[in-house]
Amino acid sequence: MKILLTADPELPVPPKLYGGIERIVDVLVRELRQQGYHVGLIAQKDSTCPADDFFPWLGQQSQHAVDTLKNTKQLWQTVQLFQPDVVHSFSRLQYLLPLLPTPLPKIMSYQRQPTARTVSWASRLAKTSLTFTGCSEHICRQGRATGGQWVAIHNCVELKKYTFQPTVADDAPLVFLSRLDPIKGAHNAIEIALKSGRRLLIAGNRVETPAGRDYWESRIAPFLGKQGIEYIGSVDDKQKNILLGQAVAMLVPIEWDEPFGIVFAEALACGTPVISTPRGSLPEIVRHGIEGYLVDALDDAVGAVQNLFNIQRQQCRQRAESCFSAEAIVEQYIQLYQKAISKRSATHQSLSALGLSPR
């Protein structure tokens, strides 16, 4: 089987620091090749992912009209050159436009809320040759309301990168690990930590916009260096493993409907419970009272911190292994590819039996 994968042109595959989609694509390429599949990749020019064939995007901005035209044309030409059995896009749906009416099996994966209009017209153009995936049932429910075939396949983590820590120190800190944006809830994490009397280590990239700087200066910076609240900056994979492993819990009380959030699965892989809110995909990742707590009110979050002794860290690791490991998730994609290819073959046979040519 020849598989052509695409990622957005802004970040390399794999990403140097943050970049959830690019991280998933990198894992998928390497796991597929390890199983003997021939894999092509179209991605940002500085990508180092070891695909069998690599094609750097000509356009570097997803939202730029001219770059979009360049990349749409390039994907069409790459398909003619590479001759894949299936195209799997983690990039813009518009890049697939010339390919939609063709019988080539296509997978379009969403890591965010789908746009109803584009999903609707793509489904009509492609008919049965296009399958959508969402990184959670939360995303798929929104997609199904607009049309098309949808399959939920969660994001994954490479378990070998995350060391299971069966115990932590009695005074182990809480950890906030995410982008420092109001919707991620760092300000709530600070309030919860202060009320619960636990140290809090904050890690993540700052948002360098006027609103982002105002958030930092008014809601985060005034508390740093006081009562155990510390900011340690952005972290790479090795630092993340250490940071999550030493934490009594990862505390990210989101204020939006999270599409998935790989960091939650990464925390579980270290054996670290999660405290968050029951929004978006969180109930699909964390079972309340088993791998952590999903609460709406700040006082309930403080209570969750005090009840962390009820959570078994081994159970957190087992959840990551059974539901979010690279092996488990890649197998789901392989089954999806095989189903899409089989569907095309069945369509060809049916049309041939009727004396018709497949479109």
The structure tokens listed for 67 are: 């770059």
pLDDT recorded at residue 310:
96
Average pLDDT over residues 198-216: 96
What number does CATH give the domain 159-322?
A: 3.40.50.2000
pLDDT of amino acid 269: 98
Please give the pLDDT value at position 358.
Answer: 52
Q: Is the omega angle on the peptide bond into residue 14 within 30 degrees of 0, that is, cis?
A: yes
Mean pLDDT across the stretch 41-70? 96
Rounded to the nearest integer, the mean pLDDT of the chain is 94
Residue ranges of E strands in the chain: 2-6, 38-43, 53-56, 86-89, 106-110, 130-134, 149-152, 174-177, 200-203, 229-233, 249-251, 274-276, 292-294
Q: How far is 90 from 108, CA to CA, in rounded Å? A: 6
Q: Which CATH class is domain 2-156+326-353?
A: alpha beta
- pLDDT tier for residue 293 given thresholds of 50, 70 and 90: very high
What is the DSSP code (8-state) at residue 43?
E
- Report d(CA 304, CA 288) in Å as an integer: 10
Q: How many H helices and E strands in the chain?
A: 12, 13
Tell me the mean pLDDT in the region 282-300. Answer: 97
| pTM exceeds cut of 0.75 | yes
Fold match, 2-156+326-353 / 159-322: yes
- Residues 8-34 have a mean pLDDT of 89
Q: pLDDT band at 356, cuts 50/70/90?
A: very low
* pLDDT mean over 4-27: 89
What's the pLDDT score for residue 20?
Answer: 78
Q: Which sign, positive or negative, has the C-alpha torsion 305, 311, 314, 318?
A: negative
Task: Give tens-digit pLDDT for 77-106.
Answer: 999 999 999 999 999 999 999 999 999 999
What integer pLDDT is reported at residue 350 of this predicted model? 47
How confident is residue 191, by pLDDT bands cut at 50, 70 and 90? very high
Per DSSP, helices labelled H in 127-232 are: 137-144, 186-196, 210-215
Provide φ and ψ at 26, rounded to 5°. Answer: -60, -45
Domain boundaries, the chain: 2-156+326-353, 159-322
Supply the pLDDT for residue 18. 65
| Per-residue pLDDT at 359 exceeds 90 | no
State pLDDT tens for residues 105-130: 999 999 999 999 999 999 999 999 99
Tell me what the mean pLDDT of segment 26-51 comes to: 97
Residue 201 above 60 pLDDT?
A: yes
| 351 band by pLDDT with thresholds 50, 70 and 90 | very low
The residues, any chain, with a CB within 8 Å of residue 276's CB and separated by 6 or more, are: 251, 252, 253, 254, 264, 282, 286, 292, 293, 294
